[in-house]
Amino acid sequence: MSNFRLNNLAVFLVQWLTFPLFIVATVYAMYSVQFYDLSPVAMQTTMFVSAIAIVELVELWLPHKGKSRRNNHSDGPLNFTSFVVLMAVVDPVLKILSPLILSILVVLFGLPQGFTLFPDDWHFIVQLVLAALVAELGQYWMHRLGHVTWLWRFHALHHSSSRMNWLTGFRVHPFNMVYHHFAGIFILMLIGINETVLFAYLALSGVINIFQHANVRFKHGVLNYVFSTNELHRWHHSTQPREANTNYGSLLILWDLVFGSYYNKRHQSPANLGLFSGTNYPVNSYWRQLIAPLFWKN
Ligand SMILES: [Zn+2]
């Protein structure tokens, strides 16, 4: 086989198989922790770091429309600052705060020890799907409200870059991350999801967030009707409101299909990414974007 054909075959396989294989690997890895007495946190972190490493490499090799992250752009430092703030401050605070609020609610409502509404005797995969459906429903509506109410003042930070790459997934206002958490993950904790399934959901949503923002020419085919893929999510970052006020799903795309906000044009992508035109949002300063909700009139 000639080098040209081999290269084309490699591109084809990477475009079509990287995402589904990584999803399967993540689910299997999180499922197997219970049999090998492994730490779900350690496995979740391993999958998270591996996803970043793989997507970073593929972004360098197969950037969407040939637009490499390193060409003429300066939002890297802003994205990285946001990534550090979310991972080093907001995430640990939420991990401490959530169980605390949960125990206060249990005492306030006098719930019995081990109270659960979650069917923890069902198969792991069924529980994981159920967890995703529950968490995604709350997060879908908070994301949708984030586009059409005052919450846009916070959510605009996520849309304020004119390009996408895996780091864009972490370009999120801390308050945006807080209300997203309480609309989804906290609800799962409230209804008594077991730890293994919760960490599997966290691992899967973390991995999909990275793939979803990847500046890569991935092909998803029928998976565009199951997951919130980067082919779909690119429309969500369009500068055209008609295209951007769609595809709100974080992990799944089901609720967009159900509530009529699904959007895709096969083999096409938005002309421009970023905020809608005519805005005076402080796009280049992370710290000004943090306080923008106080003064910005959108
Ligand atoms: Zn959005």
Give residue 179's pLDDT.
97
Does position 67 have pLDDT exceeding 60, yes or no? Answer: no
**What's the CA-to-centroid distance between 164 and ligand 1, angstroms?**
13
Ligand 1 center–CA 155 separation, angstroms: 7
* pLDDT, tens digit, 9 for 90 and up, residues 11-53: 999 999 999 999 999 999 999 999 998 999 999 999 999 999 9
Residues forming a β-bridge with 63:
216
- Between 279 and 195, residue with greater pLDDT: 195
> What percentage of residues in the chain have a pLDDT greater than 70?
96
Q: Name the strand (E) or helix (H) holding 142.
A: helix 124-148
State in Å: Cα 199 to ligand 1 middle: 24
pLDDT number for residue 297: 76
What range does the domain containing 166 cover?
3-295
**138, 207, 229, 251 from 134: Cα distances, Å:** 7, 18, 19, 11
pLDDT of residue 202: 98
Positive or negative, the CA dihedral 274, 238, 272, 242 is negative
Q: How far apart are CA 239 and CA 273, in angstroms?
A: 5
- The Å distance, Cα 106 to ligand 1 centre, comes to 33
- Going from the Cα of 18 to the center of ligand 1, the distance in angstroms, rounded, reads 25
What does the pLDDT read at residue 31? Answer: 96
Asked if residue 71 has pLDDT above 90, the reply is no
Nearest Cα residue to 178 out of 95, 266, 258: 95
pLDDT-above-90 percentage for the chain:
80
For residue 239, report the distance from its CA to the centre of ligand 1, in Å: 11
Ligand 1 geometric centre to CA of 146 (Å): 7
Q: How many domains does the chain have?
A: 1
